[in-house]
Chains A and B, each alone.
Chain A
Amino acid sequence: MPATHDKFGRPIVVVTGMGVVTSLGAGKEDNWAKLTAGESGIRTISRFSTEGLKTSIAGTVDFLKVEPFSSPDLSQKLAETAAEEAVAQAAIGTKGDFPGPLFLAVAPVEIEWPNRLELGRDTGNPDYTYDDLLRVSGGGKYTRFHRRFLFGSVSDYLADTFGTKGSPISLSTACASGASAIQLGVEAIRRGETDAALCVATDGSVNLENLIRFSLLSALSMRNDAPHAASKPFSKNRDGFVMAEGAGALVLESYESAAARGAKILGVLAGCGELADSFHRTRSSPDGKPIIGCVRNALSDAGIAPEQIDYINAHGTGTPENDKMEYLGISSVFGEQTGRLPVSSNKSMVGHTLSAAGAVEAIFSLLTLEHQRIPPTINYDVPDPAIPFDVVPNKARDARVTAVMSNSFGFGGQNASLILTREPL
């Protein structure tokens, strides 16, 4: 049997199950086929009226219905769908009895407008205030809102459904959340606390107020007339990201445990890096140091040199700021190798799945390793000369890929990078 521990003496962490849902579809097969065909899941929003809004497109997941809609309801449905696929593939434990903890990346939760207005009608007074809302809130009529709008509500449901062990952890590191959930799982296995972890990341938060909030920060693309072409990472004419929904779920296991039970190993979580940025609430430090440090931390955690990375699954949101800073960070670490290194953005097709992105893109990275094929950056018609990446423009490409870096950067100075490999290093 090959070594079960890495060169640092830590248990090797492998992936034995994956599940994914995006605006392209449900499941790895469907997603991978469309992703490598360069299809876009971005569409005109039909969930609510977008009258008067600057942005009216998103990568919504409309084929999974929750009635009535709320963000935690959809997030839960997406997470459950992805986790079912991952746990089934891993064939671990028994149904409803997963032998390890749950780490869930999920968007912050709050009572939404339809609920607020429903309560308002209940007050019977058109000039109602929060005091009136409070007056009608109690008594048991709205108990369901307490359950639904607790921050722990989605993880509570998933822990119950999948029978994960111990206290489930819900976390948010903004757009790096999915990567952070995976990192927590990797660390727990390396500490020897558990042999397996269920790491899930989900985001179903395309509702009116969330869309407007990002819009008011001038973060969103406004190419409403051509939804498929709106997400343009690394292009000179990029004008913002496209909000999107989705979920990714991974079953992580110690290599030793996975091998012992004869599980198929889908890839290795070789390294994780993180570093916070103290420059600004929404902008990266202009010197790129936090991103550079994050990428270096991931390489060092995996114990590999930049030359060993064959492909970077970029954060690549398509905002003017992110893509520029990501280039600065990558080129600083990878030096003259940068232009030759394929760097593509799944967000050109699935949009920015926010809290889910880190896990969704880690799964796409693992599929890249499995199929030895790199998904493209679509909508790349006007290259940005300031970002001379090989973005794998518009068409998927076969390539020899043994190690992938997947980056996630978010508001609040959140930076996280993962290194995934086909085989243990």
Chain B
Amino acid sequence: MTETKASENKPSKPAAEVWITGIGIATSLGEGLDATWDALKARRINVDEKNFAPYIVHPWAPVNFDTQIPKKGDQRQMEAWQRIGTYTAGLALDSAGIKGNKEILARTDMIVAAGGGERDLAVDTSIMQAEARSNSAPGFLNERLMSDLRPTLFLAQLSNLLAGNIAIVHGVTGSSRTFMGEEGAGVDAAKIALARIAAGQSDIALIGGSHNAERKEMLMLYEFDNFNLRDKFVPVWARANKPGFALGSVGTFLVMESKAHAQARGAKPFARLSHVVSDQARRKAPGEVTASLQALWSKLGKLDDNGAIITGATGAEPVTSEELAFLRQHPDFAIRAAGTAFGHNMEAQFILGLALAALSISRGALFPANDTTALEVEMAKPPTQIVVTGAGHWRSEGMALVETVK
């Protein structure tokens, strides 16, 4: 881990404390904080082993989109990942009590961690089959793409149009930034939002991401390097012999704000977000991820004993074993892999971890272990600190500390 050192650029005022005051979550296990909490307590898992066989996905649990995206016209302009994200962003704004508050939304900064949108597989398939039979006549692809692509599909595919739709539907317009780059995008969305608020560059931010597992073109991208979990679902920690991830379907958004801003409007915190750190090991030699995570751990400040860790571990190798080696250096921490219940959600995975951590802090309990190996153990006492970790399937390491507000 190399960290740049700034010279005498001391910030002129002390860093602001940052609170998580809104959580929006909707997943394969249902929507909202209560449904999510109940599902976690019941150790529910929702996987589809048939429709994408041999691959396994966590399918989106349908919601009534009308409640957060009232205009059907808006819904039609989006593909699934955008609807999931825009819907969940609305839940987060509701949770924070700023939904419809034009004065606050007009200065709320937004950072969305996004991949790209769904392709129209029917159009692709019809073009692919016709191409295979046409002996690649010149101009064939031109003609078919011109006639078959829907103009609006482009806008449903553009990465920054999830943020664009949130601005349109919910009126969040302070700023709009979209980070891309798989798992690391979610870590850095949280990191930059926290840094900006702590430094007084921003008072309040909406961050989040969404992921839709039910996409064959994305299964294909990960299949190129055999990352997909096959045949039979097992919890993340039980995949050593058949490594891989089951893609998940989630929307997860957080409202973060300075303590002063929250107090001024009478908002109650779920938790405090104290640190977000990230790095990108080259992963050229074994042990680099373990070392990278351990270096990030040392930057979280003072950690109490007997805490908890919520990890976005994927189940893919070698990264999961490398993360395990790091986790084993902290045996007194209770570990939970979000991926067992919710699958792997790429850009959204780290923010999902933050949401689950803030929810656990606010409920005064860590949700139960869900593991067939002995790694995850029950935690009797209420957690006051939860470390959220993420080691991306190919690149990116991230870590955050979520704490009780004192």
Question: CB within 8 Å of B: which residues of A?
Answer: 9-11, 49-54, 99-101, 106, 108-111, 113, 116-117, 119-121, 126-131, 133-134, 137-140, 142-147, 149-152, 155-156, 159-160, 165-174, 180, 184, 187-196, 208-209, 212-217, 254, 256-257, 260, 274-282, 290, 410-414
Contact = CB atoms under 8 A, between A and B. Distances in A.
A151 B11 contact: no
A100 B27 CA distance: 37
A165 to B, nearest CB: 5
Contacts of B115: 108, 151
Contacts of A277: 167, 173
A192 B6 contact: yes
A76 B304 CA distance: 44
B148 to A, nearest CB: 10
Contacts of B185: 151-152, 169-170
B11 A192 contact: yes
B216 A134 contact: yes
A151 B119 CA distance: 16
A64 to B, nearest CB: 23
B123 to A, nearest CB: 11
B188 A173 contact: no
Interface in B204-226: 216-217, 219-226
B174 interface: yes
B216 A212 contact: no
Given A137-B220, A145-B221, A190 B201 contact: yes
Interface residues on B, range: 35 or more
Contact of A108 (B110, B145, B180, B216): B180
Interface stretch (B154-162, B246-254, B359-367): B154-162
Given A152-B394, A166-B4, A167-B398, 8 more contacts: A128-B129, A150-B394, A152-B180, A190-B199, A276-B163, A276-B167, A279-B168, A412-B176
Contact of B181 (A149, A166, A170): A170
Given A134-B220, A168-B280, A170-B181, A413 B155 contact: no
Interface string B163-189: 111011001111111111110110110
B396 interface: yes
B329 interface: no
B7 interface: yes
Contacts of B155: 217, 281-282, 411-412
The residue in B77, B149, B178 that gathers the most chain A C-beta atoms within 10 A of its C-beta is: B178
The residue in B12, B155, B167 that gathers the most chain A C-beta atoms within 10 A of its C-beta is: B167
Contact of A127 (B119, B129, B157): B129
A366 B125 CA distance: 48
Contacts of B2: 165-166
Contacts of A49: 138-139, 142
Contacts of A119: 220
B4 A131 contact: no
A257 B7 contact: yes
B291 interface: no
Nearest to B165: A281
Contacts of B167: 276-278, 412-413
Contacts of B217: 110-111, 130
B9 A192 contact: yes
A308 B398 CA distance: 43
The residue in A131, A155, A281 that gathers the most chain B C-beta atoms within 10 A of its C-beta is: A281
Contacts of A117: 128, 131
A121 to B, nearest CB: 8
A171 B180 contact: yes
A165 B219 contact: no
A172 B181 CA distance: 10
B82 to A, nearest CB: 10
Given A156-B395, A414-B176, A209 B149 contact: yes
Contact of A167 (B124, B161, B278): B278
B7 A195 contact: yes
Given A49-B142, A167-B278, A411-B164, A216 B149 contact: yes
B355 to A, nearest CB: 20
Contact of B221 (A146, A215, A217, A257): A146
